[in-house]
Chains A and B, each alone.
Chain A
Amino acid sequence: MSSISCVDLHKSFGGVRAVDGFTLQVEAGDTVALLGPSGCGKTTTLRLIAGFERPDSGTISVGGQMLAGPGVFVTPEKRRIGVVFQDYALFPHYDVAGNVAYGLGRGGDPDRVREVLDLVGLSGEAERSVNELSGGQQQRVALARALAPAPEVVLLDEPFSNLDASLRARVRDEVREILDAQGVTSIFVTHDQEEALSVADTVAVINNGHVEQVGTPEEVYSRPATRWVAGFLGEIEILPGTARDGVVSCDLGTISGHSEMEGAVDVLIRPESLAVDTIAPPTHSAQPAVVVSRRFYGHDQMLELRLDSGRQVRARRLGFPAWHPGDRVRVWIDGPADVLARDG
């Protein structure tokens, strides 16, 4: 189990800055998600940590040992970092056991191979050709192969993107359990915010080659540091507001507890933080509104509401009661809301 430290990493390919001032500290034993849109540099960052690419500048340390930095470059085979590739990159000329044994050196320690295959639930498939396996099985072989030499750190590049949606949630949980059982520090790259939020201990949101925000899933989701992070992590309403004496007021009412703010601000509210009913509880300052449209998703529904000020906001509520366009309702803030100073 080792901590990972990346400081001010830069990497360009032919003038394109793929990684641009990337800094991240990962605690030993943590599972960290690098979350960002495609082309944000997250896979390049992973390749820098694995040692497949050499950074133009900046340092990478694992467990206190510098792997890349000024005058230092440890080759991938000496890093003891396991890697699970997006397309799995299994060795087509070896069977399942042969793939897993590859990292164990000569002889390949059959006991360890069996142990790791047990861990990923493939003990019955040891002799099979990897080309015959399903996508989910190939993924587990890739994980078993990476874990076999007992690395301190495991990196996973979009590990779940090639799996069926029905399989994905289960495999995610399994992978997380396996990683925890092995006690490794892991970083996985994903563009799927739900995946990042549900699997990781810590989420690092990446944009344009650098970290926009690091935090627990709850922090980055409900307290986004920037408008970009807020928008990338899911639907959000951004309302203009004014802060005075620690109280922020906007079209949806007032929010207290932001004493550091003064003047023009933006209020960021997730649709599920808005409550809707015909009568508001007396403890909240509710605003009157009209339902403009409703979309039903099964376990929840999304309402488009027009406030008396003319502003439209979205509210996500449980599937029932069913609201209909034209219903007059009252809406109030019932959950976390974030306030950002308005720049420019």
Chain B
Amino acid sequence: MAGAVLGAAAALPLAYLLIVTVDAGGEALDTLWRARTAELVLRSLALTLAVTTAAIAIAVPLAWLTVRTDLPGRRLWTVAGALPLVIPSYIGAYAFLSALGPAGLLQDLLEPLGVERLPSIVGFPGAWLTLTLFTYPFVLLPVRAALRRLDPQLEEAALGLGRSQANVFWSVVLPHLVPAIGAGALLVALYVLSDFGAVSIMRFDSFTTSIYTLYRASFDRIGAASLASLLVAVMLVILWLESRTRRPEALYRSGPGAARPPRVVPLGRWRWAALAFCAIVSALALAVPVAVLVYWSLQSFAGEVDWSGVVSAAGHSLLASGLAALVAALCAVPIAVLAVRFPGPFSAAVERLSYTGHAVPGIVVALALVFFGTRVAAGLYQTLAMLVFAFVVLFLPLAVGVTRASLLQVSPRVEEAARSLGRSPFAVLRTVTVPLISSGALAGAALVFLTAVKELPATLILAPIGFETLATEIWKATSVGFFERGAVPSLVLLAISAFPLYLLTARE
């Protein structure tokens, strides 16, 4: 029951958005019925496809190398591989733009050598590069987890049947990774469609930038709402396609005895190529942005740094994101239990509803809550509660996904054993199920925190007046060209994000 209520609450903003659009009727249709709209859809889809493909191409080899091979420095690459997750796309885009863009740092370096113009990364290439490098960890983390829990005996059985190592990867390992790759790719695709920071900085016209332009520049709320509804529709189609390809999952080991660690494949002469691959990915996704941030920070120390502003923004970021993480993790447990243990049309609907946040970008949830707040719940408008609610709606799917995955690994027999020992269903949930999925729920909370702390458009639109967070500080500085002023808050934001990321990777 709790799960149903939570699922319905998560769907509230979407429902409200639809009401506004339908209310507008013909006017909304006029906005959509333009040639530009079709172009917008195609452009956004092309970017989504390109980024998702590239993210899988980076993440799957990286996951396999760090889990299953004797790659030198596996611990280092494990952490370095996941770290780009903490870099918000707008910081990454601003780093790349100021490093590789017109009159950027790279060109400054190369000018003495006679290089006067670099190929432009503004537009599609820049958006593609930035989004790929900062979203591939969404695929990396679930694939790593799937590789770690894959029963090594399956592979040994296949090797014993005379299959080569490469053949075993394609015929045994990869099929078991498909659910994890699918889940990660879904996150990437939806992230790209809802991203606002990177595309706006890279000046790539997408759905979100068009919505923002309509809303802010011309205060065309009907236009913004109808375009937002169309974007939601596109994302729902992607979600629907993903759910059609999802297969029944039961990934717990059924065999008794002690679980064995995964097999380690010696790389031999391939280890240098593998090292180079990891190094290039980490250099682009981590070293370049951090170096640029450090460069700008050093520049800013020459002038005056507003430390009290940075501290207060950091406190606000911690408060809002921490509350969102806590609430989302608590909501995720009943939803995951309902979805996994009581499969059926009802629980499937609840789970889908809880995924609303996936299909609704931050800017759309913010718009919907502005309408909702100004017309229906004026008391909540521009309160911290409203902001936290927006975060929970947006990022609940992350918590549900991870919690659900960890519950799939708990054999229902274990819960039945507890029932037969005289405990009520609720007592079993409390003493067996929840402890066994607690690490999953904690990982979910960490993911929600990571994502909420860097969320930009919803924070911009919904934060109470005077409630500056690190994200809004960075955006306000870089949007007016003060790259130096954005650098210190950016580094603080990265430092804050490091802790939940440590929780995510260290629990292995």
Contact = CB atoms under 8 A, between A and B. Distances in A.
B103 interface: no
B283 interface: no
A139 B256 CA distance: 9
B255 A162 contact: yes
B411 interface: yes
- Majority secondary structure, B binding face: helix
A131 B258 contact: yes
Interface string B423-436: 11101000110011
A102 interface: yes
A83 B416 contact: yes
Interface string B411-428: 101101111111111010
A139 B257 CA distance: 10
B353 to A, nearest CB: 26
A92 interface: yes
A89 B436 contact: no
Nearest to B422: A77
Nearest to B259: A131
B245 interface: no
Nearest to B413: A89
A85 B436 CA distance: 19
B254 interface: yes
Contacts of B413: 85, 87, 89
B258 A132 contact: yes
B416 A87 contact: no
Interface string B357-388: 00000000000000000000000000000000
A131 B418 CA distance: 18
A52 B420 CA distance: 9
Contacts of B431: 102
B434 to A, nearest CB: 10
Interface centre among A77, A80, A139, A142 (most CB of B within 10 A): A77
Contacts of B414: 89-92
Contacts, number: 86
B258 A87 contact: no
B420 A146 contact: yes
A105 interface: yes
Interface string B222-258: 0000000000000000000000000000000011111
Contacts of B258: 131-134
A80 to B, nearest CB: 7
A87 B416 CA distance: 12
A304 B416 CA distance: 50
A149 interface: yes
Given A131-B259, A134-B257, A91 B420 contact: no
A170 interface: no
Contact of A52 (B259, B416, B435, B436): B416
A299 interface: no
Contacts of A9: none
A186 to B, nearest CB: 14
Contact of B416 (A89, A133, A148): A89
B420 A135 contact: no
Contact of B422 (A50, A103, A138, A142): A103
A79 interface: yes
Interface string A57-96: 0000000000000000001111111110101111111000
Interface centre among A50, A79, A89, A90 (most CB of B within 10 A): A89
Contacts of B422: 77-78, 80, 103, 105, 149
A102 B257 contact: no
A52 B419 contact: yes
Interface in A126-161: 131-135, 138-139, 142, 145-146, 148-149
Contacts of A135: 256-257
A79 to B, nearest CB: 7
A78 B420 CA distance: 8
Interface string B268-280: 0000000000000
A63 B417 CA distance: 22
A90 B419 CA distance: 13
Interface in B288-336: none
A92 B436 contact: yes
Contacts of B425: 75, 77
14 contacts: A52-B420, A75-B424, A77-B424, A83-B420, A85-B413, A89-B417, A91-B418, A92-B436, A102-B423, A131-B259, A134-B258, A135-B256, A142-B417, A162-B256
Interface of B: 254-259, 411, 413-414, 416-425, 427, 431-432, 435-436
Given A77-B425, A83-B420, A135-B256, 12 more contacts: A50-B420, A52-B419, A75-B419, A81-B420, A89-B411, A89-B413, A91-B417, A92-B436, A93-B435, A102-B431, A135-B257, A162-B257
